[in-house]
Amino acid sequence: MVLTIGDDARIHKQVRFLHGEKNEIRIGDRANFYRGTEIMAPVTIGDDVFINRDAYIRPQTTIGDRVNIGPFVRVVTDTHDIGPHDKRAGAVRHDAITIGDGSWIGASATILGGVTIGAGSIVAAGSIVTSDVPDDVVVAGVPAKVVKKLGK
């Protein structure tokens, strides 16, 4: 099993890491994860990342440095190919998600597979992100749309 946790990390004992011999979870220095979070490999998490309680992070996720993730956030890379009439949920796949450095993901937000969140951006609480988010913006809504541009 491959789980690498950086220096000075504070990981609550109720955080679940699901990984195997070939799938790695890498966590940077000074990470701070609250209880109830579940992370399924492969996942890479940068330095100084804060994850509040009960986050759900699926395979093929990359989280940059200094990212804050609110409680009950879902980072869902899982999807299915469209199958035939008798079973529309075809083969499972994991479309990668990247969360850029310095971003803030608000409480109960959902980020769907194939999305990149730009550096320094904010995803408002309760939003569902279905497409890429540029750097330094606030997105909100269902589906999430840019509602404000931020300075650097």
> Are 56 and 40 contacting, i.e. CB atoms less than 8 angstroms apart?
no
Catalytic site residue from 12, 80, 85, 94: 80
The full 3-state SS of 29-88, as one line of letters, equals CCCEECCCCEEECCEEECCCCEECCCCEECCCEEECCCCEECCCCEEECEEEEECCCCCC
Q: Is 19 a catalytic residue?
A: no
> Are 138 and 121 contacting, i.e. CB atoms less than 8 angstroms apart?
yes
H-helix or E-strand spanning residue 21: none
> Are 111 and 120 contacting, i.e. CB atoms less than 8 angstroms apart?
no
Active site residues: 80
